[in-house]
Amino acid sequence: MVDVRKNSLTVYDVPRRQRLAEMPAGDGTTHVIAGSRGRLLVADTEGDAITIFGLDPEPRMLDRLSLPGSPYGISYDDARDRLWVTLTATNEVVAIDFSGAAPRVAIRLPTIRQPNTVAVNSATGRIFVASPNEGALQLIDP
């Protein structure tokens, strides 16, 4: 769970109802999503980064990817091992590829103004980007 006031990530063992760890997650964390290989991926909007945490054997920070443009909305494509991230300051969506040895930005696309939310259909690869400012939904087939 991301605490946006404390800019931290808290990891719980739900079946045991136990808190396992609380760690700093950036300068202005907004969202967290589960990635592949036991990773948690956190959007640090104020820090212009994606912070990567591992869970095994213990919760810990693994890496921090610089991503200028105010990363905000995130969605994970399990089929392609990619994290899609909206950049609200630049009106873009980027795909970070996790299939190789090191994560890398694989795709960068323009979007509608203020792209706050992104979702991906892992079966087709199509992404959906929503903007509260424009009241619009953009469909992208990368």
pLDDT value at residue 103: 95
Question: Residue 43: CB partners within 8 Å, gap ≥ 6?
Answer: 29, 30, 31, 32, 50, 71, 72, 73, 74, 85
Alpha carbon distance 84, 113 (integer Å): 17
- pTM for this entry: 0.94
| Number of folded domains that form the chain | 1
pLDDT value at residue 56: 86
pLDDT tens per residue across span 26-78? 999 999 999 999 999 999 999 999 999 999 888 999 999 999 999 999 999 99
Domain harbouring 40, CATH code: 2.130.10.10
* Residue 52 · residue 103 · CB < 8 Å: yes
Task: Report how far apart, in Å, the C-alpha atoms of 110 and of each of 33, 94, 99 are.
Answer: 23, 9, 23
pLDDT tens per residue across span 86-135? 999 999 999 999 999 999 999 999 999 999 999 999 999 999 999 998 89
What the block records as the tokens of 37 is 């290989």
Residues of the domain holding 64: 2-140
